[in-house]
Structure formats: C-alpha cells, structure tokens
Amino acid sequence: MNGRRGWRVVAGVVMSFVLVWLLGCERQVPASMSVLELASPPPTLPPSLDGTGRVRVRVLSAKDQRPLAGVTVALLRDEWREDPRLPLESAMTDGEGIARFSAAPAGVFTLCARGARHGEFCEVDVGLVAGGTVSSTLLLPPGASIRGQFLHSDGSPAVGVRLMAVSGESDPWPRMPTQAVTDFLGNYHLDGVTPGWSNIYLFAPVVFPFSTEGQYTNRVVETVGEMDAQLDLRLGDFVHVSVKPQLRHVRGGAFNPSVSSVSMESVWGSIPLELREDGSWTGRVEAGVHVAEVLASSKGTHFDVERAVSLTSEWSVVIPVKHVSFVPETKEDPGWWPGSGGATEYFELAGHVFLPDGRPASGVRITIRQSGGPTRCGNGPFVHRHARFEGSGFAVKVPTYQRFVEAWLDNGYAGSRTISGRAGERVVADIQLEEAGAVAGRVGFIPSPTYLQAPYFSFGDGEYHLLKHVAEDGRFVVAGIPPGRYSMRVEQSSKTYQFDVQAGVATELGYLPLDQLER
C-alpha cells in the first residue's frame, strides 16, 4: 500500500512539472498572436458561388433597441428587383428577434426587414459564399399604414385585389414589399409602411385556373410619420394590349436599311408586358392613359421610343421604331440603360483578401462598378457596388468589360487587382491590402437611392472618392485614404471638413448636416 502511495506522489510531482513547463511555453507566444489566430490557418481553397450558406439576422426596434418578434426578413436579389411579383425568399424572427436562413444560395443580395407598425430597414449588397456565413443587425424605424376601399367601375366592391407597397417612388435598389388583400367589401389595410413615398402595385385575382394575375396601374402614396394614409380607388376595366415593331419608311418610299430588322429588348411603362414568340409584347392593362416605352436595337444602333396612348376598349397598337435617341455601344461601357449595349455577360471572380502583414482579413468589402440601370448622373462618378463579406473570402459576378476590382476594410485598409475574364468563366485572384486610413461619420439626410448612392465625397483635389459605404440611417465610411492631412467636401453640402488620417484607423467626424437636402 505504501509503495503504491509513493508512486502516486511521484506521478503527481512529475505532472506538476509538466504543467509548469507547458504554461511557460504558452507565455512564450508573442503578444501580437492570439490563440484564435494560431487555430485559424491561412485559407487554401478559393470560395465559390456554387452552393449555399447560412444567414443570421437580428431585428431590433430603432426606438428602444428591443428585439422584434414576428417580423419578416427577406433576401432580395437582383432578379426580384426586375420582377417584384416573384416569391419572397423570407423568414420570420423568433422571440429573440432573430431570423435564420440555413441554406441560402450563395451570392450578393440585400437584407431587408419590416413588421407591424415598423417600417423597412435594409443592408444593401451583402455577400455570401458557398459554405460561409453572414450576420447582420437591422434597426427598424416606426412605420405608418395605408387603409382604403377599392371599387370596380360599376361601383361593386373589388374583392381579392392584392396590394403590394414598395418604399420609394422610383428606386434602382431592391426593396421589400408589405402586402394585403381586399376583403368582401373591398377594404384593405397595409401595415408596416415606411414613411415617405410608396409605390403601390395592384394585382387582380386569378379568375381562371392556370391564368396569370392582371395588373392594374401602379399608384403612388405618401405617408407622414406614424400617421395612417387613406387611398380609395375606383378601378378601371382590363383591356388587352399588343405592342409590335414596325419598319420605318424614309423619303422616297424606301425602307431604312438600318431598321430592317428590329429586336425589342423591353417594353414597359405603367404596366410591364410579356414577350411573345412572334416578337410582340402583350398583356392585360387597366383602361386609362398610359405611356408605352420601347427599348429596341437594330444592327448595333439603339432606339428609345415613347408613345402616349389612351385605352378604352380591346385594341392592338403598332409602334413604329423612330430614331429618338442613339446610345453608342462599346465593350468597355455598355451604356446607360440595361440592355443598351446588348445583354451584359458575366464571369465569376473569387479569392481571398489579405492584410498588409499577410494574415487573412475579416469583414471585407469588394467594390465593382455597377452595370445595368443608371450608372452615373451628369459629371458625377460612376455608381459602384460594395459587397460586404463576413470573412476574407469573396465570390462575385463581374461584367466581362470590367478590368479592375478593389477590396477594402472599414478601418481604411484597401487594395486592388487588375482582372479579366470571359463569359461564364471562373477567375481566381487574391487581393493584398495596403496600409491606409478611413473617415467616418453620419450625414443628416439620405436622399432616395434614385440619386445614385449620394452623397458623394470629394477631397482637396476635387476627385470623388469611390471606396465608401453609406447606410440607410446616414452612417458612412470612406476608406483607402493614405495617411496625412485632408479637407473633404460632401457633394450636397457647402461646408468643408478638415481632418487627419492614420493608417488602420477610421477618423470620426460625427454628424455632418447636408444643408441642401435637409427637410
């Protein structure tokens, strides 16, 4: 017994020496290295868009920071912006105000949320790679509501009409709708409307199986604060519309060869129409005055045609393609409108972003010039998209005419890479960040995104700085600024701000009023 007890004492002493030696080795780890960093080896495989990932969104009240349960959270992709009738990729928040997407397709999207008596709030351009994760916190402002009654032209209640309210009278960004359906008296109630202008889409109920909804003319309503707005309507009858291209005669009676073959790329106006096999665009439209707009092309020449029409009965209209405006087509710049340079082709760009010391970065933003929709306004800079990824990996779709991509962090570090790719190709390219600083603050009023992601920030040399992010609550950060003394002007303000920039630090300017836009 004594022999065994002695062996136990010796074993305990030896174990104590081993623990002391291990603790001493742990203290020898450099202070600049954390245990987490030692456990996270450098990435080996490039990310991909082929697969799914996880999204976690926490929704709070902007008023008192409490979690909001039962709120709808949606992932809005570019496809939804083109056709808001598509089903929402959505989830509901639980009792802790958290919504989870366990298998969201990888890509870049906008995260939005809205709920009862709370308006919409979004984070634009969030990136998710296959097998990755992304998280966000959305603070919902107080919301308004819209009530009313819809009647048919004969005065009977319009039962089963679907309403969809989308924030912003005109908006190139995806927005999340709030919806309602009229009851047996034609009454409805739209809750959770963001104060300001809302575009109201109206859809007639499906009468026959396998038929599509008829769409009434959109209405625009303004709500103020948390007050209720009233919208009562008498809806018009539906008529059938067909828009067809027609060859144009020139002087002397001969056909103009430049428009001998016309391809209409889109037809829209108050109501979107659908393309048929015979080349015409057809659909059911509410009777009334409309403006039909046609975007067409013929042998590299592009035409933008508008024609006002008054619909009172079944009809078929033929719109001649007149040379109203010419949009030059180049490989470097496809022009102002979607499709003006032909269908934009993309390649996939994937890689990792590394800090100046070679370690993987975290929370990177990837900046690429936007294609499709208005890309600049007057002499202002081209609009760029800044996709935020959670870690160091990124994967994005890049137009084939792009030759440049930039990466940056909110602390100012920034880097760039020259790229090229063919349609459908996958290109792998890592980006090394360089030491730089940032400036941050909050602007007093954010104009509608129709103003192309204003405000613009320009420095002493008068050049616009493009590595910027402006949130919907006015919070902004401008990155990639070399250390030094600077003066900065916000496009919509007459004031100039002086500040110093240090590498890896976001200099805080606080609140910056935009005197030309405050209201």
- Tell me the pLDDT band of 459, cut-offs 50, 70 and 90: confident
Task: Specify the DSSP element, H or E, that contains 153.
Answer: none
Is there a cis peptide before residue 455, judged by omega within 30 degrees of 0?
yes
485-510 pLDDT, tens digit per residue, is 988 888 767 788 899 999 999 999 99
- b/e map of 471-495 (b: 16 or more CB within 10 Å)? bbebebbbbbbeeeebebbbbbbee
Across 377-399, average pLDDT: 81
Query: For every residue of 94-150, which 3-state class applies, written as one string?
Result: CCCCEEEEEEEECEEEEEEEEECCEEEEEEEEEEECCCCEEEEEEEECECEEEEEEE
Choose the weakest-confidence range: 15-29, 107-121, 311-325, 358-372.
15-29
pLDDT of residue 4: 47
Which residue stretches of 226-307 are H helix?
Answer: none
For residue 179, pLDDT over 70 is answered with: yes
Instruction: List the CATH code of the domain at 437-512.
Output: 2.60.40.10
Predicted TM-score (pTM) of the model is 0.76
Distance CA 237, CA 216 (A): 9
The first and second tokens of residue 173, run together, are 């960004």
For residue 377, pLDDT over 70 is answered with: no
- Tell me the pLDDT band of 60, cut-offs 50, 70 and 90: very high
Residue 143 φ then ψ, to 5°: -115, 165
pLDDT of residue 370: 63
pLDDT of residue 173: 57
Residue 286 burial (C-beta neighbours within 10 Å; 0-12, 13-18, 19+): buried
CB 436 within 8 A of CB 482: yes
> Which residues partner with 241 through β-bridges?
283
Comparing CA positions, the residue from 182, 309, 302 lying closest to residue 233 is: 182
For residue 332, pLDDT over 90 is answered with: no
- Tell me the pLDDT band of 97, cut-offs 50, 70 and 90: very high
For residue 208, pLDDT over 60 is answered with: no
For residue 337, pLDDT over 80 is answered with: no
Comparing CA positions, the residue from 128, 141, 140 lying closest to residue 394 is: 128
Residue 27 φ then ψ, to 5°: -70, -15
pLDDT of residue 268: 56
3 state DSSP class of 450:
helix
Asked if CATH classification 2.60.40.10 holds for the domain at 52-140, the reply, yes or no, is: yes
Choose the weakest-confidence range: 15-29, 36-50, 68-82, 439-453.
15-29
Across 187-194, average pLDDT: 92
Instruction: List the CATH code of the domain at 144-234.
Output: 2.60.40.4130
258-300 pLDDT, tens digit per residue, is 434 455 555 655 566 777 787 777 777 788 777 777 766 655 5
For residue 50, pLDDT over 80 is answered with: yes
pLDDT of residue 311: 75
Single-letter code of the amino acid located at 118: H
- Tell me the pLDDT band of 457, cut-offs 50, 70 and 90: confident
- Tell me the pLDDT band of 325, cut-offs 50, 70 and 90: very low
pLDDT of residue 280: 73
211-227 pLDDT, tens digit per residue, is 556 778 888 898 887 88
117-134 pLDDT, tens digit per residue, is 899 999 989 999 999 999
pLDDT of residue 129: 96
Determine the Cα angle at 301 with ends 298 and 302, to 5°. 90
- Residue spans of the domains in the chain: they are 52-140, 144-234, 238-320, 346-432, 437-512
Round the average pLDDT of the chain to a whole number and report it. Answer: 76
Radius of gyration of the chain from its Cα atoms, rounded to whole angstroms: 28
Which one is the CATH code of 346-432: 2.60.40.1120, 3.20.20.30, 3.40.50.720, 3.30.2270.10? 2.60.40.1120
Sign of the CA dihedral with 482 first, then 484, 489, and 490 last: positive
Across 29-45, average pLDDT: 42
Across 390-399, average pLDDT: 94
Distance CA 312, CA 237 (A): 9
* DSSP assignments along 38-89, one per residue: HTSPPP-SPP-SSSEEEEEEEEEETTT--B-TT-EEEEE-HHHHH-TTSPPE
Q: In the 8-state DSSP scheme, what is residue 78?
A: H
> Which residues partner with 428 through β-bridges?
350
The first and second tokens of residue 402, run together, are 């792009």
Task: Specify the DSSP element, H or E, that contains 498.
Answer: strand 496-501
For residue 323, pLDDT over 60 is answered with: no
Domains 346-432 and 437-512 are alike in CATH topology? yes
3 state DSSP class of 267:
strand
pLDDT of residue 11: 47
Q: In the 8-state DSSP scheme, what is residue 315?
A: -
Strands (E), 312-363: 317-320, 346-354
Place of tokens 């679907």: 162
What percentage of the chain reaches a pLDDT higher than 90? 40
Comparing CA positions, the residue from 439, 422, 429 lying closest to residue 499 is: 439
Task: Specify the DSSP element, H or E, that contains 14.
Answer: helix 2-27
Which class is domain 238-320? mainly beta
User: Alpha carbon 499 to chain centroid distance?
Assistant: 31
